[in-house]
Structures are given as C-alpha cells and as structure tokens.
C-alpha cells in the first residue's frame, strides 16, 4: 500500500498536506495527543473525507474517524477542519487553506483520533421527545398538514444529528445541561407542527423553557453559521422563546 501511495504521490500533479490530530488512550506511546502529517495526491473534487481515507488506507490503518458511505445525510463525519466545524464528505479540499488541519469536534470527549463520544449529545436530543405525538389517538384517517405549516417546519426537519452546532456553541461548552441548538431545533420541529395539537405544544414548550433550555441561548449565531444543512437554528430558538412567553401570559 505504501509503495503504491508513493507512486501516486510521484505521479500527482499536486499534493496536499494534512495535519491530523492523533490520540489513543489504549496504546502506550500514543496516549499523549499529537499531530501526524500526511501528504496525499490532490484531485479535482477531492473532499476532506477522501483525503482521510487515502491517508488511512495507504499510510496508517490505525487512523480512526467516522463516516458512512458519503451519503451527505448521516452526519457521522463531522470534524473540526481549519478551525471550523464541517462535514468531511461535504468539504472540498480546494476550498480550504493548505496545509489542512483536521481535529475532532471541540467540547466533546475524544475517544480515539477524530472520534468523539456522542452519548451526551444523543441524550440531549432524546430529552426533548423527538417523535410525533398527538393530543388524541389517530382515528385511522390521514392526519393532513397544510402546505403553509409544512413549509414552516421544513428546514427544521433537515437536522442530521451531526453535533456541529453543539460543538460550536459557547453556552453548551460551559453548561453541560444546556439542551443545545440541535435538541431545541428538534423540539421546534414538533412544537410547530399543527397536527400535534395545543396540549402537546404546551408540553413541548414546558420542556424547552426550563432553566437549561432556550433562555440560555445568547443569540451568538455560531450554530447557524456551522450547520451543514443551512438550518436557521438561531431563528428557531428565538421563535420558541416568543412562543414560551405568549403561553405564559394570562389575561383576566
């Protein structure tokens, strides 16, 4: 493999240098975090994921990172590339400054190399009850949704659970109980769905307006800026704040 890689590098018109974060707590001599350098042949259309796969397959088979068939929907290959949260499969090498620095997502425990522990993120997502619920059991008839309401929640349904937004959030970094932008966006998706009914909407608002919910957001827009699916996360959080205020207003 290495001989073939060297031949590819020799024949390549252009090469790119990767500086990749390495850490393995189970191997003596690799317990101290470091950066390894890999030089890979550059081709038009090459992504960060392509470059990592080449480095792993040709130079170091122990290089560890997550990915799933480059479907651009799984979110498993979210990385910290050149100081910004990005999807490896979606990020073109040609759009980055070289050498390219690749690190695991910040504000998460590193398991090995570029892999972080996602358990806390998943717990926060599950805490908002991310599944459809109605005030009454379905009667067997189709529960129709208006075009206007579908358009309203459409962007929020695009979340791929990559945790890029959570990683970029300074509030989440300092408050481990903060629900985070991804979970709040998921709550928005259902709270704003007209088919769930007013009682369920009230229930969801009660979940997200807790001490570590929407009111912890300081409107920094970092989550919106890094979202690979262009979801207006900050806008959704602010709208839920307004809904929470209105639900608590009493007129008598």
In tens digits, what is the pLDDT along the chain, a chain of 252 residues?
666 666 666 667 899 999 999 999 999 888 999 999 999 999 999 999 999 999 999 999 999 999 987 665 688 999 999 999 999 999 999 999 999 999 999 999 999 999 999 999 999 999 999 998 887 766 777 888 999 999 999 999 999 999 999 999 999 999 999 999 999 999 999 999 999 989 999 999 999 999 999 999 999 999 999 999 999 999 999 999 999 998 876 554
What is the pLDDT at residue 252? 47
Residue 62's CATH number: 3.10.20.30
pLDDT of residue 87: 95
Same domain flag for 135 and 79? no
Same domain, 126 and 110: no
- Cα–Cα nearest to 15, from 84, 100, 79: 100
**Domain of 192: which CATH number?**
1.10.1060.10
Total domains, the chain:
2
pTM of this structure: 0.90
Task: Note down the domain range covering 136.
Answer: 119-248
Do 125 and 229 fall within a single domain? yes
Same-domain status, 26 and 53: yes
Q: Which two tokens stand for residue 98?
A: 């070289």
* Extended strands (E) in the chain: 15-22, 34-41, 78-81, 84-87, 100-103, 110-112, 115-116
In this structure, are 243 and 124 located in the same domain?
yes
């Amino acid at each position: 493999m290495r001989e073939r890689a060297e031949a590819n590098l020799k024949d390549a018109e252009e090469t790119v240098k990767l500086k990749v974060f390495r850490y393995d707590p189970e191997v003596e001599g690799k317990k101290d975090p470091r950066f390894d350098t890999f030089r890979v042949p550059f081709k038009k259309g090459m992504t960060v994921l392509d470059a990592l796969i080449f480095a792993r397959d040709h130079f170091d088979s122990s290089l560890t990172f997550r990915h799933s068939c480059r479907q651009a929907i799984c979110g498993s290959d979210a990385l910290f590339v050149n100081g910004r949260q990005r999807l490896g499969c979606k990020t073109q090498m040609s759009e980055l400054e070289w050498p390219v620095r690749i690190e695991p997502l910040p504000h998460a425990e590193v398991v090995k190399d570029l892999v972080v522990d996602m358990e806390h993120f998943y717990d926060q997502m599950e805490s908002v009850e991310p599944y459809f619920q109605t005030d009454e059991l379905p009667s067997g008839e189709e529960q129709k949704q208006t075009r206007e309401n579908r358009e309203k929640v459409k962007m929020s349904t695009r979340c791929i659970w990559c945790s890029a937004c959570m990683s970029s959030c300074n509030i989440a970094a300092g408050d481990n109980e903060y629900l985070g932008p991804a979970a709040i966006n998921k709550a928005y998706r259902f709270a704003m769905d007209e088919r769930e009914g007013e009682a369920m909407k009230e229930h969801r608002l009660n979940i997200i307006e807790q001490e570590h919910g929407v009111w912890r957001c300081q409107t920094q827009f970092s989550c919106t800026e890094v979202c690979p699916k262009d979801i207006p996360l900050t806008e959704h959080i602010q709208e839920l704040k307004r809904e929470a205020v209105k639900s608590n207003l009493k007129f008598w």
